[in-house]
């Protein structure tokens, strides 16, 4: 996640800023002059401090120049896309529809629980590692920049504790020794999982000074770590929004040449090929998405959610199904349906949150509706919190039909404990449903770990037991939400896990409404 970068600047500041940038870009000044204007604007609007603004202006110069040069939208439209709650003017770029095949939707059959004693597979999900190779214990953890706890953040203020050894609750990412410790722990329990879903956001939050080479290096470094610790496991990756340079910058295929994203997608194709067949290479190079069938009757589809990322400014030029990904997804799902296969979708940005552009999100929702019997579950990250989104029948919003799990982050960024999750799914045998039967979430309590200097990864909770659920089908999650609306104990249990057992008070009425509404929103910008 990137909490700032225009996010905090507010609606008015955004419109002002966009208007000014448009003027500057149109004035045919030199690239360096334009960059300086961007830097000044960043400082003037109080987006970040001078050091960060200077870095950001270098990082974003190319993107801003290209996008604003070709942009046909005005400040009002741009800011309604970039900023949450900044008006809702009609935006022609946000108005497009995917085409579903004419094959009629098969009748819905109720999900049957597996026979007792049926085999299960276990899936480890790691999300949002945000590795900081420069993390420095004892350094300043309150630096008023997007990332602290690093050597150039100076000394902590008087009476303010410095960065903890194993990580910190303030704006700090994952130290390498904490990550190594996690991998050592996972290696010890590697008999407890069969495959891995790794759902993106690898680099730290130092978004103002990350080069393309830095990003490729982090990708390789983490890839090598997986190979070292889990030589026998297959890792299925999805792309995060932090993997690019600059952050959130994922030009669709219509941008070619040096400003294209091939530097990253080629590296992904190379690194991911350790675990994926050659059949995945062409779509990874085109748009960082792929599908693969690890077991008979079962497919994993990895999607690139940066094509719905509202901070991916390239989409201001054309947001219509970038790289043809959703149309491709429909093809894959139709094939799977024809073959009576089951599908897990993995991705990074959950489709129901405001970071996901409305048109993409609503089209995706339509696809999930059409293929509800084929898609068994979805797995995302990005928010760093522990939650989920229930998808409903578009024509009968009371009928739950799908579930997206949003797994907690490895990074403590920010004010969280590091965590990971293991799912138990029905499989692998002839006719297995691949439904999630239960999941367990583990965490590292940073307070005690830093206090006693002994990292211990412990079970936080298992879903069925903690929430008193019979099964983990979409209907069961829907029932849980309904229960939470009247049962405050249950609500506060969920709320505690949402923040990975960091005390954050209890959830009052306003909070409750917000939380429960979000759990029912698999479609973004859909308040009712």
Comparing every residue's Cβ against Zn ion, the nearest one is 201
Q: Which residues contact 403 (CB under 8 A, 6 or more apart)?
A: 377, 378, 388, 389, 390, 391, 436, 472, 473, 474, 477
Task: Output the known binding site for Zn(2+).
Answer: 128, 130, 201, 241, 348, 382, 384
Angle between helices 325-338 and 358-370 (to 10 degrees): 10
Q: How far apart are the first and last CA of the chain?
A: 26
- Closer residue to Zn ion in complex, CB, 250/497: 250
Q: Which residues of 306-338 are buried (b: 16+ CB within 10 A; e: fewer)?
A: bbbbbbbbbbbbebbbbbbbbebbbebbbebbe
- Closer residue to Zn ion in complex, CB, 1/141: 1
Residue 233 Cβ, how far from Zn ion at the closest point, in Å? 23
- Closer residue to Zn ion in complex, CB, 121/387: 387
Is 133 exposed, middle or buried (CB count within 10 Å of its CB: 0-12, 13-18, 19+)? Answer: middle
- Is the separation of the CB atoms in 91 and 310 below 8 Å? no
- Is the separation of the CB atoms in 518 and 495 below 8 Å? no
- Is the separation of the CB atoms in 391 and 368 below 8 Å? yes
Q: Is the peptide bond before 412 cis (omega within 30 degrees of 0)?
A: no
Residue 21 Cβ, how far from Zn ion at the closest point, in Å? 25
Binding site for Zn ion (CB under 5 A): 1, 128, 201, 240-241, 382
- Closer residue to Zn ion in complex, CB, 280/306: 306
- Closer residue to Zn ion in complex, CB, 48/128: 128
Residue 103 Cβ, how far from Zn ion at the closest point, in Å? 35
348 DSSP assignment: S
- Closer residue to Zn ion in complex, CB, 364/467: 364
Residue 207 Cβ, how far from Zn ion at the closest point, in Å? 11
Residue 128 Cβ, how far from Zn ion at the closest point, in Å? 4
Task: Output the known binding site.
Answer: 128, 130, 201, 241, 348, 382, 384
Residue 150 Cβ, how far from Zn ion at the closest point, in Å? 18
């Amino acid at each position: 996640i990137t909490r700032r970068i225009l996010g905090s600047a507010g609606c008015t500041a955004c419109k002002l800023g966009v208007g000014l940038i448009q003027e500057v870009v149109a004035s045919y000044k030199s690239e360096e002059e334009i960059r300086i204007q961007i830097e000044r604007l960043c400082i003037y609007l109080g987006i970040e401090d001078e050091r960060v603004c200077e870095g950001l202006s270098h990082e974003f110069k190319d993107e801003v120049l290209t996008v604003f040069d070709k942009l046909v939208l005005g400040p009002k439209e741009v800011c309604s896309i970039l900023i949450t709650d900044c008006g809702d003017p009609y935006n022609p770029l946000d108005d497009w529809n995917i085409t579903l095949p004419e094959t009629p939707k098969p009748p819905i059959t109720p999900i049957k629980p597996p026979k007792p004693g049926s085999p299960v597979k276990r899936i480890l999900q790691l999300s949002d590692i945000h590795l900081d190779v420069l993390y420095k214990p004892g350094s300043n953890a309150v630096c008023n920049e997007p990332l602290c706890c690093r050597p150039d953040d100076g000394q902590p203020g008087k009476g303010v504790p410095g960065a903890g050894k194993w990580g910190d609750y303030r704006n700090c990412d994952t130290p390498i020794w904490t990550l190594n410790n996690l991998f050592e722990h996972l290696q010890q329990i590697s008999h407890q999982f069969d495959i891995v879903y790794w759902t993106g956001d690898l680099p730290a939050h130092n978004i103002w000074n990350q080069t393309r080479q830095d990003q490729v290096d982090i990708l390789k470094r983490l890839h090598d770590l997986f190979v070292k610790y889990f030589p026998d496991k297959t890792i299925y990756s999805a792309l995060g929004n932090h993997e690019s340079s600059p952050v959130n910058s994922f030009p669709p295929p219509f941008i070619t040449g040096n400003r294209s994203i091939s530097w990253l997608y080629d590296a992904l194709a190379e690194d991911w090929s350790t675990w994926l067949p050659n059949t995945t290479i062409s779509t990874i190079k085109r748009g960082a998405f792929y599908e693969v069938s690890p077991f008979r009757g079962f497919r994993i589809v990895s999607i690139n959610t940066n094509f719905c990322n509202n901070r991916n400014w390239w989409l201001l030029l054309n947001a219509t199904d970038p790289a043809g990904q959703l149309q491709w997804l429909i093809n894959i799902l139709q094939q799977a349906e024809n073959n009576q296969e089951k599908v897990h979708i993995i991705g990074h940005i959950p489709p129901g949150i405001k970071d996901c552009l409305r048109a993409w999100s609503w089209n995706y929702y339509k696809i999930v509706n059409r293929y509800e019997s084929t898609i068994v579950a979805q797995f995302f990250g990005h928010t760093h919190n522990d939650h989920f989104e229930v998808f409903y029948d578009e024509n009968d919003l009371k009928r739950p039909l799908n579930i997206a799990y949003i797994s907690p982050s490895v990074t403590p960024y920010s004010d969280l404990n590091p965590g990971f999750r293991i799912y138990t799914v029905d499989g692998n045998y002839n006719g297995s449903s691949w439904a999630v039967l239960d999941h367990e979430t583990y965490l590292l309590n940073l307070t005690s770990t830093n206090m006693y200097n002994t990292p211990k990864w412990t079970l936080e909770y298992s879903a069925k037991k903690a929430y008193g659920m019979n099964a983990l089908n979409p209907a069961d999650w829907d029932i849980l939400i309904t229960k939470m609306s009247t049962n405050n104990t249950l609500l506060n249990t969920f709320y505690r896990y949402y923040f990975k057992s960091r005390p954050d008070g209890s959830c009052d009425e306003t909070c409750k409404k917000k939380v429960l509404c979000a759990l029912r929103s698999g479609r973004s910008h859909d308040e009712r």
